[in-house]
Amino acid sequence: MPILPVEIAKGLWRVPTLGRDLINSYIIENDDSTVSLVDCGLKSTSKRLLSAMSSIDKSPGSVREILITHAHFDHLGGASRVRSATGAKTHIHAHDRTYAQSGKNPPISVPGPLGKVLALAGSRIPSCQIDVELADGDRLDIGGGLQVLHTPGHSPGHCSFLLEKSGVLITGDAIMNFRDKLSYAFSAFCYDPDMCKDTATRLGECDYDVAAFTHGPPIFDRARESLRNFIQKGRIS
């Protein structure tokens, strides 16, 4: 059964590549009718993402660039195949570029034997050639204007993306919404869990109407207030 993208704002679609919203990618329509992608899901779901574009009358050749929030297997996994199918340039933050290209998972901070087991089990990720390095504060001509927000901690180069024209924040894994419950990225899979919480604070300071997540459904009602309240509770606890 083909995956149907869900329009969450004008010219912006969420593509559930696993389950109803366990892993999400995004399609952004540009002013010139090309599209840009955010994340490519698992290696096995790249065909689903490409198929989803056909339902909104977009071909693989219409993809202009691919933005990757961070170099983890469930975000980068399908990127190489999508890059090959579309000819689009792949973007990732400079601090995650080496991991993405080498296929080596970014380090995690779990100490002791458990950390060693997790590191060994997840030491490899699907690799992808990176064409463009992202940096904090970059403003890209995507969807009428996209700002790159470097939110490291889950990985060294983790980024969130603010679509200024449509008023949508794509959090990446800085903040997740599993089963409609906001949470930070799981500590066991973080480069630096404390940094992850610290840098996510800036997501409550941006201006947006909709919060979109790479894990979990979007928030449409008082999205910014919801994230700010969640962040504030984290500071107190």
233: pLDDT strictly greater than 90: no
* Confidence band, pLDDT 50/70/90 cuts, at residue 111: low
pLDDT tens-digit map of 60-84: 999 999 999 999 999 999 999 999 9
219: pLDDT strictly greater than 60: yes
The CATH class of the 6-236 domain is alpha beta
pLDDT tens-digit map of 180-205: 999 999 888 899 999 999 999 999 99
Please tell me the distance from the alpha carbon of residue 130 to that of residue 153, in angstroms, as a whole number. Answer: 21
* Confidence band, pLDDT 50/70/90 cuts, at residue 227: very high
* Structure confidence at residue 28 (pLDDT): 98
Please tell me the distance from the alpha carbon of residue 212 to that of residue 14, in angstroms, as a whole number. Answer: 8
* Confidence band, pLDDT 50/70/90 cuts, at residue 118: very low
From 42-51, 79-88, 103-112, 149-158, the region with the lowest mean pLDDT? 103-112
